[in-house]
């Protein structure tokens, strides 16, 4: 029964919330502890309001922010390529997914851990942080950790398990939880954590990925000057 819930019902629930959550929040203006509603900016962009922590030291935020963003992008792209390679039986794409996913997972874990420690170490940032900030970062670390562990074991010991048939059953609306019943525990935990995170995603600060910088291309450039130069 639990197998059917986690690998049949949960994926569809997560997908429904992942798509419907941002739409509901955009049109109703429902707010979380740190994010407002979707609105047009004065510059012409459609943005989710956000509380930035960058003004508490850009040098300290840069490593974590860069690794989180590039790690997430790498993980999403390599997984998409891996699913295509698995469906078509193309080994080069599967190998690219395996190694690229490991690199993306390492970047994501490093960036999320950096951001987590930074929030704890800086008194000003700790004071403005909410429970949601810590939960999101822990989710990213745990989710990427499960996937990275399996990838390392797969490369080091040749232990592999393909979730393609199970995912295909979900996409064709003929879900079969039995197709993943014999999967290693880490694979199951990775998939469960991913779907829980997808369901939680629309109600976190990460919803800002659905912003649309329409005016970014046509906006005027910004002339940056150093503090030393301004003093002169």
pLDDT tens, residue by residue, 119-155: 888 888 788 788 888 999 999 999 999 988 888 877 6
Range of the domain at 76: 2-231
How many Cβ atoms from other residues are within 10 Å of residue 25's Cβ? 21
Q: How many CA atoms, within 13 angstroms, populate the side-chain half-sphere of residue 168?
A: 11
CA distances from 133 to 102, 178, 226 (A): 25, 36, 32
Distance of CA 13 to the CA centre of its chain: 18
Q: Please give the Cα distance from 6 to 4 (Å, whole number).
A: 6
Cβ-proximal residues to 18 (8 Å cutoff; 6+ apart), any chain = 198, 199, 201, 202
Cβ-proximal residues to 185 (8 Å cutoff; 6+ apart), any chain = none
pLDDT of residue 41: 47
Q: Which stretches in the chain have pLDDT values below 50?
A: 32-35, 40-45, 55, 224, 227-232
CATH of the domain at 167: 1.20.950.20
CB-count burial class (<10 Å; 0-12, 13-18, 19+) for 70: middle
Task: Give the number of domains in the chain.
Answer: 1
């Amino acid at each position: 029964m639990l197998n059917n819930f986690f690998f049949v019902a949960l994926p569809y629930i997560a997908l429904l919330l992942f798509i419907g959550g941002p739409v509901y929040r955009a049109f109703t203006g429902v707010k979380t502890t740190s994010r407002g509603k979707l609105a047009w900016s004065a510059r012409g962009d459609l943005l989710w309001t956000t509380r930035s922590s960058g003004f508490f030291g850009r040098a300290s935020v840069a490593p974590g922010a860069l690794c989180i963003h590039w790690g997430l992008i790498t993980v999403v792209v390599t997984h998409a390529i891996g699913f295509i390679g698995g469906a078509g039986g193309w080994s080069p794409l599967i190998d690219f997914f395996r190694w690229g996913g490991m690199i993306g997972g390492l970047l994501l874990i490093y960036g999320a851990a950096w951001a987590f420690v930074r929030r704890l170490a800086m008194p000003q940032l700790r004071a403005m942080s909410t429970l949601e900030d810590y939960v999101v970062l822990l989710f990213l670390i745990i989710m990427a950790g499960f996937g990275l562990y399996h990838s390392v074991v797969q490369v080091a010991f040749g232990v592999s398990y393909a979730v393609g048939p199970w995912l295909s059953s979900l996409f064709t609306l003929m879900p079969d939880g039995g197709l993943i019943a014999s999967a290693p525990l880490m694979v199951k935990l990775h998939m469960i954590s991913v779907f829980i995170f997808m369901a939680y995603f629309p109600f976190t600060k990460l919803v800002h990925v659905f912003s649309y910088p329409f005016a970014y291309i046509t906006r005027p450039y910004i002339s940056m000057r150093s503090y030393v130069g301004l003093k002169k």
